[in-house]
């Protein structure tokens, strides 16, 4: 009898533990960068905004100006997929790596710095702040060595 009560208490305890673990509130630092950025639609909207700014940028506009509209759409979609995958989202990036896709374009350090100014404007617009902004900017600035090929 005693054994059966103990067994029931143990099962009840384990059930309570499992339920409370399963529904424990997720701490913000447990969330992927993808989630903190607001998910797919927020990333896609930010990329659209950034491409628009890059196209209108005094230094960087020339890199997009020679692409066909179709090629621009492909580059835009690949950039969304890239950010989605690298930030921990449910996407598969099927494009080329950053070095292969940008080398030979002649992107200089000055072009790069100007693109980061445009990126900052996009992040301001979408109110990406605090640790999320720091993490995202670190992800992008880590690509400088692959994208810049002219000092
Ligand atoms: C100064 C900054 C940048 C410039 C001027 C630039 C320019 C370009 C251009 C012109 C293309 C089209 C290439 C083509 O279709 O042949 C392209 C492709 C691409 N860019 Fe950038 N880019 C810059 C930074 C970045 C950054 C920071 C990322 C990632 C967050 C990125 C991700 C991509 C991707 C994923 C593609 C498509 C790759 C592929 O075709 O396989 N770019 N970029």
pTM summary value = 0.84
Q: How many CA atoms lie within 13 A of 52 on its CB side?
A: 8
What tokens appear for 138 in the block? Answer: 């670190």
CA distance 93 to 97: 10
Closest ligand 1 atom number to CA of residue 114: 1
Measured N-to-C along each axis, helices 130-141 and 109-125 cross at an angle, to the nearest 10 degrees, of 160
With CA atoms as reference, report the closest residue to 126 among 46, 72, 57: 46
CA distances in angstroms from 104 to 3, 60, 66, 99, 100, listed in the order given: 76, 15, 14, 9, 9
CA distance 80 to 51: 11
Nearest-CA residue for ligand 1 atom 16 is 101
Query: Which residue out of 60, 102, 121 has the highest number of ligand 1 atoms within 8 Å of its CB and is therefore the one to mutate?
Result: 102
Compute the distance from residue 19 Cα to the ligand 1 centre, in Å.
46
Q: 3-state DSSP call for residue 108?
A: strand
> Which pLDDT score is estimated for 30?
86
Q: How many CA atoms lie within 13 A of 110 on its CB side?
A: 4
* pLDDT one digit per residue (tens) for the chain, 151 residues: 556 655 665 554 545 444 444 444 455 568 999 999 999 999 999 999 999 999 999 999 999 999 999 999 999 999 999 999 999 999 999 999 999 999 999 999 999 999 999 999 999 999 999 999 999 999 999 999 999 997 6
Compute the distance from residue 131 Cα to the ligand 1 centre, in Å.
25
Residue 53 neighbours by CB under 8 Å, 6+ apart: 118, 121, 122
Which residue ranges form the domains of the chain, and what is each CATH number? 33-147 (1.10.490.10)
């Amino acid at each position: 009898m005693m054994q059966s009560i103990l067994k029931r208490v143990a099962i009840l305890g384990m059930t309570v533990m499992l339920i409370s673990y399963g529904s424990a509130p997720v701490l913000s630092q447990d969330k992927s960068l993808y989630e903190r950025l607001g998910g797919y639609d927020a990333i896609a909207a930010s990329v659209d905004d950034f491409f628009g700014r890059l196209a209108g940028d005094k230094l960087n506009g020339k890199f997009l100006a020679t692409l066909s509209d179709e090629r621009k759409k492909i580059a835009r979609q690949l950039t969304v997929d890239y950010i989605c995958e690298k930030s921990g989202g449910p996407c598969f990036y099927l494009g080329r790596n950053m070095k292969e896709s940008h080398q030979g374009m002649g992107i200089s350090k000055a072009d790069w710095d100007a693109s980061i100014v445009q990126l900052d404007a996009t992040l301001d617009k979408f109110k990406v702040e605090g640790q999320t902004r720091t993490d995202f900017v670190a992800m992008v600035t880590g690509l400088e060595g692959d994208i810049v090929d002219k000092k």
